[in-house]
C-alpha cells in the first residue's frame, strides 16, 4: 500500500461546479498535511495547510480526518484557472525526522 494515495482523475467539471478530492495516508503517526497545486510540470505551489478543525481560504476548504486517515480539498465555484494537478502532502515519520511524502496528484480540468 502506498503511503499517500490520491485518485489521479481527471476530474472534468464545468465552471461554477463544486468539486472535492480526497487523499488517504497509511502512517497514523504522520503530522502536518498540505495541499499544493502544480501546473503543467511547473513547480508545486502551496495552496493551503490542513488542520483537524478544518480551514477555509476563499473558495477552498481543507479538512483532516485523523481517525480515518484522510484529508480532503473542496473547491467551490470552480474557475477555468483552477485547472491543475492537486498534490496532497503528508509529513511522514522516517528515522528521527519527518519527510514530506507526496501523492501522485489529482488532475482537475475546468471547462467553460
Residue from 25, 34, 64, 108 in contact with another protein (CB under 8 A): 34
- Site for another protein contains 55 (CB under 8 A): no
Surface-to-core class of residue 96, CB atoms within 10 Å of its CB (0-12 exposed, 13-18 middle, 19+ buried): exposed
| Terminal-to-terminal C-alpha distance of the chain | 37
Q: Which stretch binds another protein (CB under 8 A): 15-23, 58-66, 72-80, 83-91?
A: 83-91
Cα–Cα nearest to 98, from 12, 9, 16, 34: 34
Say if strands 84-94 and 97-102 run parallel, antiparallel, or are unpaired: antiparallel
Identify the H or E element spanning 84. Answer: strand 84-94
Interface segment toward another protein; rule CB under 8 A; list 13-21, 31-39, 58-66, 69-77: 31-39
Stretch that binds another protein, among 17-25, 52-60, 65-73, 96-104 (CB under 8 A): 96-104
Residues forming the site for another protein (CB under 8 A): 31-32, 34, 41-46, 49, 87, 89, 91, 94-95, 97-105
Amino acid at each position: 500500500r502506498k503511503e499517500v494515495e490520491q485518485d489521479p482523475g481527471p476530474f472534468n467539471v464545468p465552471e461554477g461546479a463544486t468539486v472535492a478530492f480526497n487523499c488517504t495516508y497509511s502512517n497514523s503517526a504522520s503530522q502536518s498535511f498540505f495541499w499544493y497545486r502544480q501546473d503543467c510540470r511547473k513547480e508545486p505551489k502551496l495552496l493551503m495547510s490542513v488542520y483537524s478543525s478544518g480551514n477555509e481560504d476563499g473558495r477552498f476548504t481543507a479538512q483532516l480526518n485523523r481517525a480515518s486517515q484522510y484529508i480532503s480539498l473542496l473547491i467551490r465555484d470552480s474557475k477555468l484557472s483552477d485547472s491543475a494537478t492537486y498534490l496532497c502532502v503528508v509529513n511522514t515519520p522516517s528515522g528521527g525526522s519527518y519527510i514530506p511524502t507526496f501523492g501522485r496528484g489529482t488532475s482537475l480540468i475546468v471547462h467553460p
